[in-house]
Amino acid sequence: MHLFIRFFNCGQVVFRSSTSTPRCDFIVQDTSFLLENIISHFDIYPLLNLKQEDFLCFKEALLLIKEKKHLTKEGLDKIKSLNLEMNSNRLR
């Protein structure tokens, strides 16, 4: 995970030992870093599995936030809708 920080030149690694299975998360909070570093990388090198659909939902939500559309009811509803399409929610 620390290689992600070096490769993308942003983010932090947070370890979670309070769960039944210890894990770590790679976190990037700055939307400009997300767009410039992470999103641009996966636009060039797309994921080759179901995670690509999650990425596209995440990217769309992030662009709504960048355009300040999350401050409207319609924008927030769209982000909530995208969230329901992601990860295990898609399989329900």
Q: Where are the domains of the chain?
A: 1-45, 49-92
The whole-model pTM stands at: 0.82
What is the pLDDT at residue 92?
A: 53
pLDDT of residue 2: 87
Alpha-carbon distance of 79 to 85, in angstroms, equals: 10
Q: Looking at residue 91, what is its pLDDT?
A: 60
Do residues 55 and 41 lie in contact, with contact meaning Cβ atoms separated by under 8 Å? no
Average pLDDT per 10 consecutive residues for the chain, totaling 92 residues: 91 86 90 94 95 95 96 97 84 56
Nearest 5°: phi and psi at 85? Answer: -90, -5
Spatial CA neighbour of 27 closest among 11, 39, 38: 11
Q: What is the pLDDT of residue 20?
A: 82
| CA–CA dist 41, 47 (Å, integer) | 10
The per-residue pLDDT for 35 is 95
